């Protein structure tokens, strides 16, 4: 082995070790800072308590968990079909000379700061919901909030934000399916759309699920965009039109003025968020194995 190759190998090893140690140290710091509140307040009361009022000593994060899950699920419901349809369109329908331009435009979405997405939601999506959707919704639910800050607004913004991830990875997965699969299906008399739905997408399911996992992680961990447009009300929502507070948004909004105990409670929120993400990743990995995909 050449000397330069040995040096590169050592640098890669050092980089991997630094990354691993950094994650371990961050994890230890979060747990060390948040466990005292969990021990004093009680894990059950902390997770299943329905009142988040740090000034009154109430640290129940169930409304925050519900808010996070509702917004994330809403983003996936909107983003997965849209992203998958866009990936199929780019890889199988749009001519290559046009696909490159559209692909670059979609990837550009990933470089836009989250605060810009939040501002866009604040000045466009929230007023649109308040003007066009809420009047119809209030016919059936007169007591509904009329602000427009809601789960729906957060879900729409997060769906836009996770599109580049879902589209890019799903398109690569669909394009990587051997051409023989497509040719065999067409030779047997299947139409183009039938081939896409019944052959290409199932063959690329592992990569598509990976894109959904990464998109879900982005949606759960997003802070600033959600903070600006969801209303930041720590209550259990009754519908997608209700304002909510999320785990990440609460940490970002309250950490700056938190008292020592309140700060520890926010670190405990970080612990719960860490555990939720780990559980979702485990479920996703098991799902990939169940679908026949290779879990990484």
Residue 296 located in a structural domain:
no
* C-alpha R_g of the chain: 22
Residue 12 lies in a domain: yes
State the burial class of residue 148 (Cβ atoms within 10 Å of its Cβ: 0-12, 13-18, 19+).
buried
pLDDT value for 296: 38
Angle at 205 between CA 199 and CA 208, to 5 degrees: 125
3-state secondary structure of 104: helix
Return the closest-CA partner of residue 204 out of 79, 105, 288.
288
Predicted local distance difference test score (pLDDT) of residue 291 = 60
Residue 160, domain member (yes or no): yes
Beta bridge partners, 231, equal: 244
Q: Whose structure tokens read 């067409």? A: 186
pLDDT of residue 5: 81
147: containing domain: 3-290
97 assigned to some structural domain:
yes
Query: Cα(253)–Cα(150) distance, rounded to whole angstroms?
Result: 17
Q: β-strands 58-59, 52-53: how paired? A: antiparallel
Per the DSSP assignment, residues forming a β-bridge with 22 are none
Is residue 182 included in any domain, yes or no?
Answer: yes
Residue 295 forms part of a structural domain: no
Q: What share of the chain is helix, strand, coil (3-state, %, to 5)?
A: 80, 0, 20
What domain count does the chain have? 1
Polymer length in residues for the chain: 296
Q: Bridge partners of 53?
A: 58
For 107, the token pair is 């990837």
Q: What CA–CA distance (Å, rounded) separates 23 from 30?
A: 11
Provide the pLDDT for residue 2: 72
Q: For position 293, what pLDDT does the model report?
A: 46
Asked if the structure places residue 72 within a domain, the reply is yes
Is 202 within the bounds of a domain? Answer: yes
CATH of the domain at 217: 1.10.3720.10
Which residues does the chain have with pLDDT short of 70?
Answer: 1, 145, 284, 287-296
């Amino acid at each position: 082995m050449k000397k330069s190759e040995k040096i590169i190998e050592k640098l890669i090893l050092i980089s991997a070790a630094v990354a691993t140690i950094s994650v371990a140290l961050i994890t230890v710091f979060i747990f060390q800072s948040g466990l005292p509140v969990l021990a004093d307040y009680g894990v059950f009361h902390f997770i299943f308590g329905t009142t988040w009022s740090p000034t009154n000593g109430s640290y129940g994060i169930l409304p925050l968990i519900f808010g996070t899950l509702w917004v994330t699920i809403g983003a996936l419901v909107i983003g997965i079909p849209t992203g998958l349809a866009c990936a199929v369109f780019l890889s199988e329908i749009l001519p290559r000379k046009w696909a490159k331009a559209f692909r670059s435009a979609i990837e550009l979405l990933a470089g836009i700061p989250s605060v810009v997405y939040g501002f866009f939601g604040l000045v466009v999506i929230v007023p649109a919901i308040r003007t066009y959707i809420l009047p119809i919704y209030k016919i059936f639910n007169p007591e509904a909030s009329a602000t427009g800050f809601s789960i729906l607004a957060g879900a729409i913004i997060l769906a836009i934000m996770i599109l580049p991830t879902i589209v890019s990875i799903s398109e690569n997965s669909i394009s990587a399916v051997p051409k023989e699969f497509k040719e065999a299906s067409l030779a047997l008399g299947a139409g183009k759309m039938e081939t896409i739905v019944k052959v290409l997408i199932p063959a690329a399911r592992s990569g598509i699920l990976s894109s959904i996992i990464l998109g879900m992680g982005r949606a759960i961990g997003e802070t600033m965009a959600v903070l600006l447009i969801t209303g930041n009300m720590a209550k259990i929502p009754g519908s997608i039109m209700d304002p909510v507070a999320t785990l990440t948004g609460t940490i970002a909004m309250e950490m700056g003025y938190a008292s020592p105990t309140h700060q520890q409670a926010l670190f405990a929120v970080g612990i719960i968020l860490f555990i939720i993400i780990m559980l979702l990743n485990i479920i996703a990995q098991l799902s990939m194995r169940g679908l026949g995909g290779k879990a990484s």
